[in-house]
Structure 1
Amino acid sequence: MAEPRPRVWVSQPLIDAVIEPLRAQVELITTDEVTAWTAEQLAARLADVDGAIITLNERVGAAQVAGATRLQVIANVGVGYNNLDVEALSAAGIVASNTPDVLTETTADLGFALLMAAARRITESERWLREGQWGQWSFQTMLGADIHGSTLGILGMGRIGQGIARRGAHGFGMRVLYHNRSRLPEAAEGEVGAQYADFDTLLAQSDHLVLVLPYTASSHHIIDAAALAKMKPTATLVNIARGGIVDELALADALATGRLAAAGLDVYEGEPAVRPELLALHNIVLTPHIGSASLATRKAMVQLAADNLLAALNVDGAAARMPSAINAEAAFAARTASGDKSKKR
């Protein structure tokens, strides 16, 4: 008798052109409508599957995998994985993966779009026009900040940060400063046209500051009232990293009192909820976490998640290194220690 195919659950509607072909290789359980799964529902869904493809909306920790004796892999559709308790998954022998690289340029595009929209007051101008106020025009109406020739600051200089640096330096003739946990090699700095600066210098000299650093305990609220006070009152702040990096109440106060000229946010600390203090402001551009939201990029993300899943499940006997595993060594070590090297179905 042939060994049963692995059972896989997909937590949200994704890209059918990528997901549906998996039916030929696994027993596939899909989700037809966008669903806000409770912690208990997630635990129930994961309890009887070998693998899962999930999104950033699903938070998975020890409680959700406690009864998931078959579960071998969770393929997260997203470069970030703050929704996963990686330590708990590793201890349970469950491999986790993410989808880096494929969204780099698309997310950098969105970051630069937010910078331009905030600095040039695009959404504020559109609301003003739609409200029929153009008749009140004066020579000083909707004066914004130049982007070309200004100083672009980047906090975090991974792939997305470097993509933004290239756009600024090569496309708009900007002076580019960056701060990162580790300095780039000199050749890489030259390629993207960026200069290293300490954190305070970055804050003080940036006309436009873009946040693209990972969210960790040390980066929580790194942009707080004290940091905002060091920035130019004419500056623009853009966050496409994670909401918890910015103290949103301090940001709202800085924008409302003129301590900061404008901001653009794609991420929020309590998303999908957005603070009313931010919603009430006119000098801020708000988008609903759409950094990777182009059709081509979202398709590539789902394909990478599927590739990670199939490799981890050793589908068709073609074991392969997962393209982007997060914790493979720790998970396999836990399986070995427990005597469950294969998590057989």
Structure 2
Amino acid sequence: MKPSIYITRKLPESVITPLQKEFEVDMWEHEDVPVPRDILLHKAESASALLTMLSDKIDRELLQKSPSLRVVANLAVGHDNIDLEAAKEVGVTICNTPDVLTETTADLTFGLLMATARRIVEADRYIKEGKWKSWSPLLLAGLDIHHKTIGIVGMGSIGEAVARRAKGFNMNVLYHNRSRKHAVERDLGVHYTTFEELLTQSDFVVVLAPLNEDTEGMFQDEQFLLMKDTAIFINAARGPIVNEEALEQAVKRGDIAGAGLDVFEVEPIDADHPLIKLDQVVALPHIGSSSKETRYEMMALCVENIHAVLKGNKPRTSL
């Protein structure tokens, strides 16, 4: 009997064809709707491999009820949806998709920074709603980006890529990370600071840290009060790093000038979410790595990892 693979979101046929040649492949039929929990549990019970999304909870319950499961390939660099300790206990290999999305996510992050600072989304809406009647000196005036100070919280590969882009704008780059990176400081000309110093000195605070016990709830009222009232806050990492109520109040009070968000505490959000009602907030639906080229490369890496494990070989990327 062939090993079976369950894919939790509808993917292009061209992506899964290599797997279908050697394995039994079953796939959730919807592209934009997450697989329900009960169906995922049922499918995992007999699966040899899962190809999952960040929205799929691969927890101890699922892992312990899936005796045939050998590998989970997560279509993301993050893996906070997976219980790594439980996976290790039952001998399931966990794979993710690092590196292939670094530059694409950095593009989106810097684009979000620019859109928020220069009020691009607000200006687009202004003209499309027929409000543009004349030119005026301060019409939709935003904030300069060049020669400003950017503070990057989380100097991993994506943080480094954002720093390189910032240098192209002649920005002063500060960073805070769990461990200091002397080689990055030397190569990119960035400066390490404490978390508090970064908040007080930066014109743009960009969050690119992973979600873990140290970073969850990292931004509260206290942190926003430390920031400049002209500062822009950007989160392209994970929503639970930020207390959204604290962020909302900081924007409303004018403690900071605005925010650009690609992630939220609970996703997806709806049109009643208080943050997206604020003109000073630019909101995106978690599309950091969403270019066609990168998403196809991520899918291909998941397929490669699953194939390797099921054939008794070492996967290209595993946790």
* TM-score (norm. length: structure 1): 0.89
Provide the aligned length of Structure 1 versus Structure 2. Answer: 317
Match of 2:294 among 291, 294, 297: 297
Q: Given residue 236 of structure 1, which amino acid in structure 2 is its aligned partner?
A: I
- Residue aligning to 2:277: 280
> Per-residue deviation at 1:137?
4.7
| Aligned match for 1:37, one of 11, 23, 35 | 35
Local SS of the residue matching 2:46: coil
2:313 corresponds to which of 308, 320, 323: 320
Could you tell me whether the CA contact under 8 Å between 2:151 and 2:203 is conserved in 1? yes
Distance (whole Å) between structure 2 residues aligned to residue 137 and residue 259 of structure 1: 29
1:266, distance to aligned residue in structure 2 (A): 0.3
The answer to whether the Cα contact below 8 Å between 2:8 and 2:34 also exists between their aligned partners in 1 is: no
Q: Alignment partner for residue 225 of structure 1, among 218, 221, 226?
A: 221
Question: CA shift at 1:65, angstroms?
Answer: 2.7
Answering whether residue 5 of structure 2 is matched by residue 8 of structure 1, we say yes
Give the conservation status (yes or no) of the 8 Å contact 1:155–1:213: yes
Q: Structure 1: which amino acid aligns with 2:313?
A: A
Partner amino acid, structure 1, of 2:60: A
Q: How does 1:52-201 map to 2 (within 5 A)?
A: 52-135=50-133, 137-169=135-167, 171-185=168-182, 187-201=183-197
RMSD between superposed Cα atoms in Å: 1.4
* CA shift for structure 1 position 279: 1.8
**1:54-107 deviation per Cα after TM superposition (whole angstroms, max 9, x unaligned):** 111211112223321111111111000111111222222211111111000000
Following superposition, the deviation at residue 254 of structure 1 comes to: 1.1
Do the aligned partners of 2:2 and 2:23 also contact (CA within 8 Å) in 1? Answer: yes
- Equivalent pair of 1:40/1:64 in contact (CA under 8 Å): no
- Out of 250, 266, 288, the residue aligned to residue 246 of structure 2 is 250
Distance in 1 (alpha carbons) for counterparts of 2:186 and 2:64: 49
Instruction: Tell me which amino acid in the other structure corresponds to 2:266.
Output: G
C-alpha distance in 1 between matches for 2:253 and 2:261:
18
Name the residue aligned to 1:337: none
Q: Structure 2 unaligned segments of length 5 or more: list them.
A: none
SS of the residue aligned with 1:5?
coil
Residue equivalent to 2:237:
241
| Residues 9 and 35 in structure 2, CA contact (< 8 A), matched pair in contact too | no
Percent identity, please. 40
C-alpha displacement at 1:224, in angstroms? 1.0
- Could you tell me which runs of 5 or more consecutive residues in structure 1 were left unpaired when the two chains were aligned: 327-345
Correspondences of 1:201-216 after superposition (within 5 Å): 201-216=197-212
Mapped contact 2:100–2:294 kept (Cα < 8 A):
yes
Post-superposition offset of 1:16: 2.6
CA contact (8 A) 1:204 1:230 kept: yes
- SS of structure 2 residue aligned to 1:213: coil
- Partners of 2:65 and 2:143 lie apart in 1 by 55
* Cα distance between partner residues in 2 of 1:246 and 1:233: 18
Moved over 3 A (4+): none
Which secondary structure does the structure 2 equivalent of 1:322 belong to? Answer: coil
**Which residue number in structure 2 is paired with residue 263 of structure 1?**
259
1:302 counterpart SS class: helix
Q: Is the 1:165–1:193 contact (alpha carbons within 8 Å) kept by the matching residues of 2?
A: no
Q: TM-score, normalised by structure 2?
A: 0.96
1:264 alignment partner AA: G
Could you say which residue in structure 2 is the equivalent of 1:342?
Answer: none
What is the distance in 2 between the residues matched to 1:194 and 1:19? 42
Distance 2:197 2:14 in 1: 48
Q: Distance in 2 between matches of 1:110 and 1:53?
A: 25
CA distance in 2, matches of 1:236, 1:76: 31
What is the CA deviation profile of residues 101-157 of structure 1, one whole-angstrom value per residue up to 9, with x for unaligned ones?
100000000000000000001111112222222126531221111111111110000
